[in-house]
Structure 1
Amino acid sequence: MRVLHIGKYFPPAPGGMESYLGELVSALEKEGVTSYVLAHRWDSSEPAVTQISANVTVERVPTYGQICYVPVAPAFVFYLMRAIRKFKPHCIHIHMPNASGLWKILTSLSLPIVIHWHADTTFPPEKKLHNTLYAFYRPFENILLRKARSIIATSEKYAQYSQSLSAYQHKCHIIPLGINPNMLPTPSNTEIESLRKTYCNNDETLIISVGRFSYYKGFHNLVEAMKQVQNGRLVIVGDGEEFNNISQQIETYRLESKITLAGRLSIQELHTLFAAADIFCLPSIERTEAFGMVLLEAMHHSTPCISTDLKGSATGWVNEHMNSGLVVPPDNVSDLTNAINSLIHDTTLRAELGENANKRLLANFQISTTAKQIAELYKNSLLPPS
């Protein structure tokens, strides 16, 4: 079976949606699926076409910056038409949100469409330009959803709460995201200890958080919480539009001795930090954080998690309260602070949650299981609609 994937970006571009797509096409190959990925070019140094394996090809379309997080790629439709003509896919798998996926409306409408609904497109009220542009974009998004043969939602909570998917519940299939633990770096004890010394003293608890510095990540609450955290050292990995604001907040509170902004790290460095950490924290405040792929990476290293219980998001399900970690209300600095301090002081609970986190990952969030379910969905999607 030949499947054309339309993605926003593809690894080594950073992001949970990107890393998942990279792992998914490799896992689908084992299910007899040949994949052709059409994505935007993240960096000018990336090759135009990459042959990942015998049955996985990636083509990157040139971009000219971004407007409201949307890559500007005027030639995308021509690349898409050429890929359809050359690759002759049996179906098209569109990973949303992704404005370039809308070009499918104008091309080869007879091809079955599978939409992977990673998240709704939502912005806070103060982002007026973003909301105005989405008001124009949404009718076309709705047309695409209507034409889709099947829709993959990553959790039951998200599918049920999403306004965009409300009219299409009969098409929705719940398939959680997953990772391949065997493909992740395994740092040595020497590397782990060396990195710990870089960020904290022996008697300090190492707390980490990872993600794009965006409004919905809640990093400002995590910085606020650190004012009342004793014997803990926080490292935040990533960059983005809120980086300078968070940096200024740290300076204002004079927390430079307790918080380090590490910027973007290599995959090896990032997973060494996951392994070195005592606690992983995902303090997101909006359901734009639809699933929390980064929680799975922390769980792989048996690192207990603290996440927020976002209405309509899977974060409070992926990380199960008092099993793989602690779950607190969103945008609540007091409860976030208490959760961090409780894990700092209770090392027995910390170890138990970390061990359970790894077991939960292996039982529920493996990419091999995801790939089997999606391959089966492809077959069903090729059948004429009933």
Structure 2
Amino acid sequence: MRIAYIINGLYNSAGMERVFTVRANSLCKTLDITFITNAQGDKPDYFPLDKRIHRIDIGGEKPYREGLEQCLIDNKYDITVSTSGEEFYFLYKIKDGSKKVFEFHFSYDISMVWMGGIKNPLKRRLLIELQKFRRIYIASHYDKVVVLTKTDCVKWSRWLSKVTYIYNPLTIKPEKRSTVKDKVAIAVGRLNYQKGFDYLVDAWQQVHDSFPDWRLNIYGEGMLRAQLENQINKKKLSSSITLCGSSDDIMLRYCESSIFVLSSRDEAFGLVLTEAEACGLPIVAFDCPSGPRELMEDGGNGFLVCPVGNIKELASCIIRLMSDYSLRQQMGQRSIELSERFKIGKVSAQWIELYNELINS
């Protein structure tokens, strides 16, 4: 079976690129996998791909749509997959004989975050609804729509019948776990509005008053770095919070920490949650749409904080874990148990089953 994943590029270090690389490296043992990128040029792939995986980059003088259409007609794939890039708007129109799959790696309600900066509430609401229903309308032309959580699958299913969900696989294989003894909390993600690190800095001010010997390390880069640095400095927390940038060994960073905090306004899945679980960390997370409630166990391996933006409760839950080593141990062990659901073998089997159903339908 020949599968083509169409993605903007594989040169970024973000979660989507990591997930697709891990999945493809597993699936290429039984399937013929190709990545088709949009003008990546000579930028190297950030994550290593198995040598059995083919790479095609659509560049040059032809418009992207024209080049992609010619590529698909020439190569005759069984299944072609849109990963929510520019191709989403026209892939289903290309008559190359392949089954068309749309993978949406954002939450159903992501438009509420994307339009969050619009001050006029009526205009904001209108644009949110227009974007959402345009997405649903275009997705209705695909043979299958795949989302990341059961919660989002239910929401999509109000409009479409051909929707399913498959969890992201774990992208790390820790050989050791956190001892939860070090006085370090960790947060991981792009420094953007969606990830809510501004909330976390505000909460840490309260945490720091109770536990000044604990540190918070935030890993990731993004456009809000300067704004967050300014916020940290204004609150006089520069000795307690470090913006660490990207890490080449994030698994080690998890294992050097004792608490994982997710302060996002929205998470379609929350890959960092499953990574932290695999490394044995207790978790404090906002109950944001749509991933955290499905991926963790409130009171089991951590605490879900509701609503999003409840700074006082976020700080309180972090403090509770800091003050109780036995609780951190207990919740960290439960995290390891819960992470078993996301092993690559289990996830790959679900994809192969889905592809077989599509081909045979």
Q: TM-score, normalised by structure 1?
A: 0.80
Which whole-Å CA distance do the structure 2 matches of 1:172 and 1:296 have between them? 23
> 1:51 deviation in Å?
6.6
Aligned equivalent of 1:90: 78
* Root-mean-square deviation over aligned CA pairs: 3.1
CA contact 1:36–1:87 (8 Å) conserved in 2: no
Which whole-Å CA distance do the structure 1 matches of 2:270 and 2:39 have between them? 24
CA contact 2:192–2:224 (8 Å) conserved in 1: yes
Alignment of 1:308-319 (within 5 A): 308-310=286-288, 312-319=289-296
One-letter amino acid matched to 1:366: K
Aligned equivalent of 1:9: 9
> 1:138 deviation in Å?
6.3
Question: Stretches of 4+ moved more than 6 A in 1?
Answer: 131-140
CA contact 2:182–2:257 (8 Å) conserved in 1: no
- From the superposition, tell whether residues 42 and 245 of structure 1 become closer, same or farther in structure 2 (CA, over 3 Å): farther
1:158 aligns with 2:145: no
Which whole-Å CA distance do the structure 2 matches of 1:14 and 1:276 have between them? 21
CA contact 1:102–1:140 (8 Å) conserved in 2: no
Bigger shift: residues 108-117 or 219-228: 108-117
- From the superposition, tell whether residues 280 and 153 of structure 1 become closer, same or farther in structure 2 (CA, over 3 Å): same
Unaligned stretches of 5+ in structure 1? 64-72, 197-202
1:242-282 deviation digits (Å, cap 9, x = unpaired): 1111111001101111100111221x2x2211110101111
CA contact 1:8–1:18 (8 Å) conserved in 2: no
Alignment of 1:309-348 (within 5 A): 309-310=287-288, 312-329=289-306, 330-348=308-326
User: Residue 35 of structure 2: SS of its match in structure 1?
Assistant: strand
- From the superposition, tell whether residues 204 and 358 of structure 1 become closer, same or farther in structure 2 (CA, over 3 Å): closer
One-letter amino acid matched to 2:6: I
Aligned equivalent of 2:33: 35
CA contact 1:8–1:39 (8 Å) conserved in 2: yes
Which whole-Å CA distance do the structure 2 matches of 1:144 and 1:28 have between them? 28
- From the superposition, tell whether residues 204 and 20 of structure 1 become closer, same or farther in structure 2 (CA, over 3 Å): closer
Bigger shift: residues 119-128 or 254-263: 119-128
- From the superposition, tell whether residues 134 and 57 of structure 1 become closer, same or farther in structure 2 (CA, over 3 Å): farther
Aligned equivalent of 2:105: 118
One-letter amino acid matched to 2:9: Y
User: Residue 44 of structure 2: SS of its match in structure 1?
Assistant: coil
Aligned equivalent of 2:336: 358
One-letter amino acid matched to 1:379: N
Q: TM-score, normalised by structure 2?
A: 0.86
1:59 aligns with 2:56: yes
Aligned residue among 229, 236, 239 for 2:221: 239
User: Residue 199 of structure 2: SS of its match in structure 1?
Assistant: helix
1:76-115 deviation digits (Å, cap 9, x = unpaired): 324422431343210112223x223323134226421122
Which whole-Å CA distance do the structure 2 matches of 1:375 and 1:238 have between them? 33
Which whole-Å CA distance do the structure 1 matches of 2:7 and 2:258 have between them? 34
Alignment of 1:168-187 (within 5 A): 168=160, 170-182=161-173, 186=175
One-letter amino acid matched to 1:107: I
User: Residue 213 of structure 1: SS of its match in structure 2?
Assistant: coil
Which whole-Å CA distance do the structure 1 matches of 2:319 and 2:13 have between them? 30
> 1:158 deviation in Å?
1.4
- From the superposition, tell whether residues 381 and 80 of structure 1 become closer, same or farther in structure 2 (CA, over 3 Å): same
> 1:343 deviation in Å?
0.5
> 1:219 deviation in Å?
0.5
Alignment of 1:201-220 (within 5 A): 205-220=183-198
Equivalenced residue count is 346
Which whole-Å CA distance do the structure 1 matches of 2:246 and 2:129 have between them? 33
- From the superposition, tell whether residues 9 and 315 of structure 1 become closer, same or farther in structure 2 (CA, over 3 Å): farther
- From the superposition, tell whether residues 153 and 43 of structure 1 become closer, same or farther in structure 2 (CA, over 3 Å): same
1:282-331 deviation digits (Å, cap 9, x = unpaired): 1112x3x1110011111121111111112x40212202112222111111
Which whole-Å CA distance do the structure 2 matches of 1:74 and 1:356 have between them? 53
One-letter amino acid matched to 2:292: T
Identity among equivalent pairs (%): 21
User: Residue 140 of structure 2: SS of its match in structure 1?
Assistant: helix
Which whole-Å CA distance do the structure 2 matches of 1:145 and 1:213 have between them? 29
User: Residue 186 of structure 2: SS of its match in structure 1?
Assistant: strand
One-letter amino acid matched to 1:222: L
Aligned equivalent of 2:159: 167
- From the superposition, tell whether residues 224 and 370 of structure 1 become closer, same or farther in structure 2 (CA, over 3 Å): same
1:130-170 deviation digits (Å, cap 9, x = unpaired): x89988876764454122112212111112235xx6311x2
Aligned residue among 131, 143, 148 for 2:142: 148
> 1:7 deviation in Å?
2.2
- From the superposition, tell whether residues 313 and 140 of structure 1 become closer, same or farther in structure 2 (CA, over 3 Å): closer
- From the superposition, tell whether residues 134 and 61 of structure 1 become closer, same or farther in structure 2 (CA, over 3 Å): farther
Unaligned stretches of 5+ in structure 2? none
One-letter amino acid matched to 2:354: L
User: Residue 298 of structure 2: SS of its match in structure 1?
Assistant: coil
Which whole-Å CA distance do the structure 2 matches of 1:167 and 1:17 have between them? 25
CA contact 2:73–2:96 (8 Å) conserved in 1: no
CA contact 1:51–1:57 (8 Å) conserved in 2: no
CA contact 1:307–1:316 (8 Å) conserved in 2: no
- From the superposition, tell whether residues 14 and 236 of structure 1 become closer, same or farther in structure 2 (CA, over 3 Å): same
